[in-house]
């Protein structure tokens, strides 16, 4: 089975194109976990499947966390759109696709993929930070840049990720700098559920952080710098957000039969 490795600002994925496959196949959770394992498999923050489009869409995206759970992933959506465009040999710069949370659009803008996400509600203040649902559940905590650099994120995040206030789904934990760098970018780090570790970037978490900054300070356009690279968010209205940033396709390979 052929796969492509995709890198969305350090958020890396194993991708399978299943659009030409007969019948609807998907890996089981054990297969996903094995393939995403950093030492015994290919290694990835998740796996994405391109399936035939539904209801007039160009493709349907299925995303799995490395523990085999299905979710929506903002960086995964950007990566999937980039790969779909590459498979068309760059003939199309716009796409409509569906995912577990509904319909989305992707556009190729100034050499980068840009996809839309939808806030399910305005950010909610909690004793732990601001809760935001961007199709995936997020907690956003503010901190000075100096403290963010030295922060032991897993130590902070694990109790919050499993806190009873966010049961049963749990939350991803994002820590964002309270003020931007001189270049206007806010530093951001994310601990992702399903991965159960800090990742180099998180697209839906970036949108969640932007939603909290807009809620607190106003504005519609925000720039971020995650450990894996730069990401941008622009809001269109109250709920729709456009997420942009680079995606690379470093290699492809073949998964051997088990």
Beta-carbon-side half-sphere exposure of residue 157 (alpha carbons within 13 Å) = 25
Residue 137 backbone dihedrals phi, psi, to 5 degrees: -85, 130
Contacts of 78 (CB under 8 A, 6+ apart): 8, 106, 113, 114, 115, 203, 243, 244, 245, 247
Tell me the pairing of strands 172-177 and 240-244: unpaired
Q: Which of 62, 41, 208 is nearest to 135 (CA)?
A: 208
Query: 């995650």: which residue's tokens?
Result: 226
Annotated catalytic residue 9:
no
Give the tokens for residue 89: 């040999």
Q: Please identify which of the residues 9, 36, 73, 114 carries the catalytic annotation.
A: 73
**b/e string for 125-145 if b means 16 or more Cβ within 10 A?**
eeebbbbbbbbbbbbbbbbee
Residue 109, SS3 per DSSP: strand
Q: Please identify which of the residues 9, 36, 114, 202 carries the catalytic annotation.
A: 202
Asked if 141 and 177 count as a contact pair (C-beta separation under 8 A), the reply is: no
Contacts of 257 (CB under 8 A, 6+ apart): none
User: Which residues are the active-site residues?
Assistant: 73, 202
């Amino acid at each position: 089975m052929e796969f492509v490795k995709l890198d969305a600002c350090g958020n890396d994925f194993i991708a399978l194109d299943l659009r030409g496959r007969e019948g609807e196949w998907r890996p089981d959770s054990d297969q996903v976990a094995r393939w995403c394992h950093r030492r015994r498999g290919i290694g990835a923050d998740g796996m994405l499947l391109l399936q035939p489009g539904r209801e007039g869409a160009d493709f349907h995206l299925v995303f799995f966390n490395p523990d085999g759970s299905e979710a929506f992933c903002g960086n995964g959506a950007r990566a999937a759109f980039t790969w779909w465009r590459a498979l068309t040999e760059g003939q199309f710069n716009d796409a409509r696709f569906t995912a577990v949370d509904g319909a989305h659009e992707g556009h190729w803008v100034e050499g980068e993929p840009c996809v839309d996400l939808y806030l399910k509600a305005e950010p909610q203040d909690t004793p732990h930070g601001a809760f935001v649902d961007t199709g995936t559940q997020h907690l956003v905590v503010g901190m000075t840049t100096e403290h963010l650099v030295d922060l032991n994120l897993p130590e902070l995040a694990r109790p919050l990720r499993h806190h009873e206030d966010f049961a049963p789904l749990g939350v991803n934990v994002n820590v964002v700098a309270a003020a931007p760098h001189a270049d206007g970018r806010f530093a951001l780090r994310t601990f992702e559920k399903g991965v159960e570790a800090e990742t180099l970037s998180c697209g839906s978490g970036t949108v969640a952080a932007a939603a909290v900054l807009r809620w607190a300070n106003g504005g519609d356009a925000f720039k971020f710098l995650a450990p894996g690279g730069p990401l941008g968010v622009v809001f269109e209205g109250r709920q729709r957000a456009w997420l942009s940033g680079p995606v690379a396709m470093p290699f492809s390979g073949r998964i051997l039969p088990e």
